[in-house]
Amino acid sequence: MTVEENDNESTDNGMGGRAWECVAVTLQEVQELLWSLGKTRDENEKTLRRQLATHLIPILEKQGESRKRKQLQKERELLNLAKMANAKRSSRIAGKVERQKQEDKVKEEEERLRAAQVSKHREERGLLKMEQERDFRTSSRQRRLQEREARRLQHEEELAQLSEDSRATPVTAGRMSERRRQAEIDRNRQALKELSQEGEAWVFDCTCGLFGQVDDGTHSVACEKCNVWQHSKCLGISEEDADRQEFQFVCEPCRRRNEAASMPPKETLKMSLDTITCSTVGPQVSEQPDAGQSTTPVKTSDGTSKKRDEKPGVESVASLSADKPLLYSASERENNAQLSPVTHPHSTAHRFRDSSTSASLSRQHDGDYSNNDCRRGWRA
């Protein structure tokens, strides 16, 4: 073979002996190449264009779709991995958010209860203050009524006295005194007239706080005692009940005063224990044979005197000190009351006399003790 034939064989590699280059790799590049070959007049280029559009474009499209599906699958897997990695942190965050919501709800409930309690206390204080002011006005009004009644009685007494004096005055009395008396009578009459006009004044003092000589057009009732008006609605009284002929209303302050006046007075038991002064025992005092026995004479029902034995444990009056007060407990007073033959009906304390007084009384009454001078029947 010649050299030329070797060169031809070497260059003839199945591609027509020409040099080729890559002009398109991706689907987009192939589509751009087909678009550039769309206006060619070369039959080979037209054939190439048809072959590429028929065989290469579908393959590239399938490969692109497969790559997209793989990419989406990979993204989903990565997202799931991220979710799984953040699941614990998300649960902690969710629990924290839920606890925060519960705490906020509890705080809101506490604030609401606290505000309601403060409002309730404020309302109670307002009602208490209103009630105290109303009681003060009621007591002041009652005091003014009493003072006005006292002045009225005083003026009536003065007027009656002046009328009596004018009738008893002789005709020869001075002219100036008659004028002065008439002026006093006119003054007292004018004062009585003013007091009567003042007594006809009315006042509105309701539990809702409305006070004064006002009329708001609401149905009201008046107290039968103090003539103070109040809203019937505030008192819980219907208009039908208030308009009945036999209806009578007494306000709460007047009702309390009536109950206090109707209650029996408290009985106070006053007991006075006199200090026993022991003097020198005179010859009239009989000697006691025994420390536990007493030969004190006691007045009996038939007028005779007899000796009574004193119970052991009862201290003799003569043994008490001169400056030592006689103090008894409740049980001792009951025992002494049982031992005493004579007790004063209007006194709860038993009194003692000294030896000289008892001796003189015993001589005056033939050895018997007087009921008024010796309450216990003991000789001191």
The DSSP code sequence of 126-189 is HHHHHHHHHHHHHHHHHHHHHHHHHHHHHHHHHHHHHHHHHHHS-TTS-HHHHHHHHHHHHHHH
- Exposure on the CB side of residue 135, measured as CA atoms within 13 A: 11
Structural domains of the chain ordered from first start:
203-262 (3.30.40.10), 273-380 (no CATH)
In order of 30, 144, 149, 152, the CA distances from 189 in angstroms are: 134, 20, 15, 10
Which of 67-71, 195-199, 226-230, 308-312 ranks highest by mean pLDDT?
A: 67-71
Instruction: Calculate mean pLDDT across residues 129-152.
Output: 78
Q: When comparing pLDDT for 43 and 185, which is higher?
A: 43
Q: What is the pLDDT of residue 250?
A: 82
Which of 48-62, 141-155, 293-307 ranks highest by mean pLDDT?
A: 48-62
For 249-271, the pLDDT digits (tens) are: 888 888 887 787 777 776 666 66
Which of 56-70, 155-169, 197-211 ranks highest by mean pLDDT?
A: 56-70
Mean pLDDT, the chain, whole residue set: 69
Q: Is the pLDDT confidence value at 172 over 50?
A: no
Instruction: Calculate mean pLDDT across residues 106-110.
Output: 94
Q: What is the pLDDT of residue 299?
A: 46
Residue where the block lists tokens 């897997």: 77
Q: Is the pLDDT confidence value at 281 over 60?
A: no
**What type of residue is 151?**
R
Confidence of residue 130 (pLDDT cuts 50, 70, 90): confident
Which of 50-59, 139-148, 341-350 ranks highest by mean pLDDT?
A: 50-59
Q: When comparing pLDDT for 190 and 26, which is higher?
A: 26
Percent of the chain whose predicted confidence (pLDDT) is above 90: 11
Distance CA 144, CA 229 (A): 17
Q: Is the pLDDT confidence value at 85 over 90?
A: no
Instruction: Calculate mean pLDDT across residues 212-232.
Output: 78
Q: Is the pLDDT confidence value at 219 over 70?
A: yes
| Contact status, residue 348 vs residue 271, Cβ threshold 8 Å | yes
Distance CA 260, CA 50 (A): 125
Write down the H helix ranges in the chain: 3-11, 27-36, 43-51, 57-168, 175-199, 232-235, 239-242, 252-262, 330-339, 355-364
Percent of the chain whose predicted confidence (pLDDT) is above 70: 58
52 SS3 class: helix
Q: Is the pLDDT confidence value at 379 over 50?
A: no
Q: What is the pLDDT of residue 197?
A: 61
Distance CA 328, CA 142 (A): 47
For 8-46, the pLDDT digits (tens) are: 555 556 666 777 788 888 888 888 988 988 888 888 888
Predicted model pTM? 0.30
